[in-house]
Structure 1
Amino acid sequence: MKLVVVGGVAGGLSFAARMRRLDESAEIVVFEKGPYPSFSNCGLPFYVGQEIPTRESLLLNTPQSLKAKLNLDVRVNHEVISLDANAKTVQVRGADGSIFTESYDKLMLSPGARAARPPIAGLDSPRVHTLRTVDDAQQIVGLADCAKSALVIGGGFIGIETAEALAHRGINTTIVEGSDHVMPPLDLEMAHLVTGALQSLNINVIAKTRVTKIQHFPAHDLAELSNGQCLEAGLIVLAAGVTPATEPFVAAGVKADERGYIEIDQHGRTNLPDVFACGDAVTQQTGVTGQARPVALAGPTNRTARLIADFIADPESARPLPKPISTSIFRVGPMTVAQTGANRAELDARGIAYRTIHTHPTDHGTFLPGAQPMQLMLHFAATDGRILGAQGIGGNGVDKRIDVIATALKAGLSAPDLIDLDLAYAPPYSAAKDPVNFLGYVAENVLRGRLKLWYAEEAAHLDPATPILDVRPVPEFNAGHLQGARCIPLTELRSRLDEVRSWADGKTVYLSDDSGANAWLAQRILEPAGINAKVLSGGVNTVFAYYFDNPGAVLEM
């Protein structure tokens, strides 16, 4: 059997290596458009930031090492330019520019994606670079050695990590993001905390804005923004999304969506016989909403490639491709940001009824010095409590909690099932009620109707006559509270119930505090006394995050 693989790196080479382990006799040819068949894409920003000291550290395998270890015929600087599915051949442009035809029995497409190029006048400036390859990184490093200022266009994974890398080198760096906030997959309150973390690194963030024009000058470039600003930059990094590199295959009849992403079935098959696909250039049905979309993450790509090889080698026993839940993580200075599953926008778009809770735990017991705060958010189905998504930001331990929740989501657990997870505990690592267990406690109270919530987004739209009761001590209340709120500390609440009853006058009392914990206790005091009450999810801490750009709209400080 002869297998031809289009593209190396995570998808193509994972497939080729697995095929070799399953079939020693197969002829396996890999065509890689660039000079490096196997390198760490995810490590590129860390090389730019000098945390990875040498470019050689990014290179994982060479054609020679792959031949020696796996007997793979890896040809770099070879671009597949067309496909004839009837003849089962591809046309290839070789390193010398010549064009030849290669036959196959099975064809794996892993062409990846290239940086999107929005319609910006002057984008061809020599100071504008993408960060997709080792050579891209090398060029950026060359400019960074003498640049005093840098502009990063796009605030996604690559944009944020590159901005941090440039700031680490002492370069005055600005991110311009066209969406409402950086990291669009995050919900607003979490994304705003990322903005705050970036600002703490002296990175300027300009959201809801686009670069409209770039002018090239001898000493710098000048970027004009849609908000009227102009920014000087000695280096511009274009990180405004990607476009699938699938044109030759779509032209040959491979079915794709309107953006060019290849559609595959549960075993990685395209609509053409013996043609498979994986990686950044395909769509997969996601595990939470069922929506078909690209999932450009290294872990899912490696797993998909392996399972496709399993199917080709033994179709009867191969497992279907898992539905990805998009678990991801990145760093901003000392902060870790992680997420799994769906966000609000995805759930709303699919009409899925859900509830959301916010908590503000520490990574370990506060009685042991060094406890670091984190903020966790959990979405779960309003009907049966099925876990739908989670996001977290903070110091130590965020990665652990999101990974645990991702496992629970994959297993189909409900939010209250988190209560019963038997997680490792010792004071340096957690609290006896781990933050994951605690999310389960809160979710169970919500689902059972014990805990009634209201949310930060409601604060800007409340009727002025709404009774808002803050149950923190007076000094904490005075440091910042919701407009129109009245302060009655929790310790005084039982003795002042008549005052609350008279003031509320039959209306539902909207409770607030710092994180929601004491407001929950207040609700349990008020409701037996005949006073309806709701608790602000995540407390004023979440309000500060939600209204990060304009806290004065809802808070008095």
Structure 2
Amino acid sequence: MRKIVIIGAVGGGATVAAQIRFYDKESAITVFDRDSTMSYAACGTPYAIGEAIENPKSLLMADPSSFKEKRDIQVLLKHEALEIKRSKKAVTIKNLATGETFDEPYDVLILATGGSAIIPDIDGLSSADVFVLRSYGDMEKIKQFINERKPQSCCISGAGFIGIEMAENLKELGIDVNLVHKSPHVMSILDEDMSALVKTELQANGVNVRTGVFVEKVDGTALTLSNGDTIEADFQIMSVGIKPNTELAEKAGLPIGETGGIVTNDFMQTADPSIYALGDSSENADLVTGAPKRIPLAWPAHRQAYLIARHLIGSAIPKNGLLGTSIAKVFSKTIAMTGLSETMIQESGLSYETVVHKGNSNAGYYPDHSRLTLKVHYHPETRKILGAQCFGGKGVDKRIDVIVTAMFAGLTVEDLQALELCYAPPYSSPKDPINMVGYKAVK
């Protein structure tokens, strides 16, 4: 009987375990995780803090007993993997509750080790109440602090997805928010003009956005910024980035790629064919350029789990490149993107042209409509779409989803004209914003 060991029991680890069991009823599957919870919806944690999700326990998708009962998968929490002994095909595990260590043999090892929040080295940071948000436990700590200490102000370092989502949810709780971002514009993966729209929406809702600066010194609740300004914050949230957890792989001699993730082949195998890696700690490839790419988001991890399961049962499906499709709620607006931004295109050395369409989400005479800005980059010769971004009210997600489908299918920007999309006044216009991009691209 084949022995499959999985390190990590959150999105990627729990999903790959379940996917393997769906196809393979015989193998013994054991999952280890150093945390005290498994298979939780990490993307929902900001909204549980802001009480948009009233019951935080609804984020818990499974527990060890249900995994054992329904799928015959053993999950051991508070167990940390210390070392991979490749020559012996075993992992050294430490029981964090008892301190006991033991070697767990494997035929197949899957690394779903995720990533850890980066905490910058800031003078005096230990004098303050500082949190990160990377786990269910982190969420519980933040909620407990807010409930017990009743803070009036917060400084969030980093205006990426977590930073922006936390800014909104803390404002919903009545907490004053300073959002400090080292780069010149928020959500640095966006084009500057689209970032400006996000910043405007944040400011319109009372978030004090400070770009091009960072926290340089901390003295309790007094924070000194790199430009010399000082602000007060009852607590801080660090969301400056994620470091992939690759220590196990590195110690085992598995190659780490230029993005910092574990190098994987078309079937998510590492350089050791008996060891797979997926999720935040794995390196993959960009669909447009083929260059190395690491996407710490939920969709890639879930897709990679399926690919590993199929490979293990001898019905392999090679992975495609990743686009990095992503979306975020910004108060009453939405920002979404896919593919390459303008900066990414320039760094890749590709030629490009751009179409920007500003219009309504649906018929302007219908009472429930909103404004959209849809921006699409494409190659001037092949006419293939390189990337897109959309900001506005309703309908942002479906426009980006259509662009994703077009890019995956290899359609040209002019092909967008011919897409026969749904139309009725509550939903779109006779010529959808997607169609308009296709028309506008014609010289």
Which residue of 2 is the match for residue 248 of structure 1? 248
- The equivalent position to 1:121 in structure 2, one of 117, 120, 123, is 123
Report SS of the residue matched to 1:402: helix
Q: Between 243-252 and 302-311, report the one with greater CA deviation.
A: 243-252
List gaps (5 residues or longer) in structure 2.
none
1:401–1:301 distance in 2 versus 1, CA, 3 Å = same
Report SS of the residue matched to 2:344: helix
Deviation at 1:247, TM superposition (A): 0.9
**CA distance in 1 between partners of 2:313 and 2:45 (Å):** 34
Deviation at 1:259, TM superposition (A): 6.1
- Contact 1:339/1:402, CA 8 A, preserved across alignment: yes
Partner AA of 1:154 in structure 2: G
- Contact 1:253/1:272, CA 8 A, preserved across alignment: no
**CA distance in 1 between partners of 2:422 and 2:279 (Å):** 35
Which residue of 2 is the match for residue 340 of structure 1? 338
Deviation at 1:124, TM superposition (A): 2.9
Does structure 1 residue 82 correspond to structure 2 residue 83?
A: yes
**CA distance in 2 between partners of 1:61 and 1:238 (Å):** 28
Cα deviation per residue 1:265-319 (whole Å; 9 max; x = unaligned)? 11001012301000000111010122212101101110011111110111xx311
Which residue of 1 is the match for residue 172 of structure 2? 168
Cα deviation per residue 1:26-77 (whole Å; 9 max; x = unaligned)? 0000001101111010000001101111221111100001111111000001
Report SS of the residue matched to 1:237: strand
Q: Between 62-71 and 133-142, report the one with greater CA deviation.
A: 133-142
Correspondences of 1:57-96 after superposition (within 5 Å) = 57-95=58-96, 96=98
**CA distance in 1 between partners of 2:364 and 2:109 (Å):** 56
Does structure 1 residue 188 correspond to structure 2 residue 192?
A: yes
Correspondences of 1:121-160 after superposition (within 5 Å) = 121-125=123-127, 127-145=129-147, 146-160=150-164
Which residue of 2 is the match for residue 548 of structure 1? none
**CA distance in 1 between partners of 2:125 and 2:113 (Å):** 24
**CA distance in 1 between partners of 2:127 and 2:190 (Å):** 32
- Contact 1:32/1:75, CA 8 A, preserved across alignment: yes
Deviation at 1:258, TM superposition (A): 5.3
Partner AA of 2:331 in structure 1: G
Does structure 1 residue 264 correspond to structure 2 residue 268?
A: no
- Contact 2:4/2:109, CA 8 A, preserved across alignment: yes
**CA distance in 2 between partners of 1:362 and 1:55 (Å):** 36
**CA distance in 2 between partners of 1:224 and 1:15 (Å):** 45
- Contact 2:389/2:400, CA 8 A, preserved across alignment: yes
Report SS of the residue matched to 2:237: strand
Which residue of 1 is the match for residue 107 of structure 2? 105
Number of residues of Structure 1 aligned to a counterpart in Structure 2? 439
Identity %: 38
- The equivalent position to 1:177 in structure 2, one of 181, 205, 211, is 181
Correspondences of 1:2-17 after superposition (within 5 Å) = 2-17=3-18
Which residue of 1 is the match for residue 361 of structure 2? 363
- Contact 1:143/1:234, CA 8 A, preserved across alignment: no
- Contact 1:247/1:260, CA 8 A, preserved across alignment: no
**CA distance in 2 between partners of 1:303 and 1:312 (Å):** 15
Q: Which has the higher contact order (CA 8 A, sep 6+)?
A: 2
TM-score, length basis structure 1: 0.78
Does structure 1 residue 203 correspond to structure 2 residue 215?
A: no
Report SS of the residue matched to 2:110: strand
1:379–1:260 distance in 2 versus 1, CA, 3 Å = closer
- Contact 1:245/1:281, CA 8 A, preserved across alignment: yes
Which residue of 2 is the match for residue 43 of structure 1? 44
Which residue of 1 is the match for residue 21 of structure 2? 20
- Contact 1:289/1:347, CA 8 A, preserved across alignment: no
Partner AA of 2:344 in structure 1: E
**CA distance in 1 between partners of 2:93 and 2:154 (Å):** 38
**CA distance in 2 between partners of 1:53 and 1:368 (Å):** 33
- Contact 1:116/1:241, CA 8 A, preserved across alignment: yes
- The equivalent position to 2:375 in structure 1, one of 366, 374, 377, is 377
- Contact 1:143/1:235, CA 8 A, preserved across alignment: no
Cα deviation per residue 1:447-478 (whole Å; 9 max; x = unaligned)? xxxxxxxxxxxxxxxxxxxxxxxxxxxxxxxx
Report SS of the residue matched to 2:126: coil
1:406–1:396 distance in 2 versus 1, CA, 3 Å = same
Which residue of 2 is the match for residue 514 of structure 1? none
Query: Which has the greater radius of gyration?
Result: 1
List gaps (5 residues or longer) in structure 1.
446-557
- Contact 2:261/2:283, CA 8 A, preserved across alignment: yes
Report SS of the residue matched to 1:331: strand
RMSD over aligned CA atoms reads 1.1
Report SS of the residue matched to 1:174: strand
**CA distance in 2 between partners of 1:283 and 1:329 (Å):** 21
- Contact 2:128/2:218, CA 8 A, preserved across alignment: no
**CA distance in 2 between partners of 1:250 and 1:181 (Å):** 34
Which residue of 1 is the match for residue 289 of structure 2? 289
Deviation at 1:368, TM superposition (A): 2.1
Which residue of 2 is the match for residue 457 of structure 1? none
Q: Between 105-114 and 93-102, report the one with greater CA deviation.
A: 93-102
**CA distance in 1 between partners of 2:124 and 2:130 (Å):** 9
Deviation at 1:23, TM superposition (A): 0.8
- Contact 2:259/2:292, CA 8 A, preserved across alignment: no
Report SS of the residue matched to 1:60: coil
Which residue of 2 is the match for residue 312 of structure 1? 312
Correspondences of 1:386-425 after superposition (within 5 Å) = 386-425=384-423
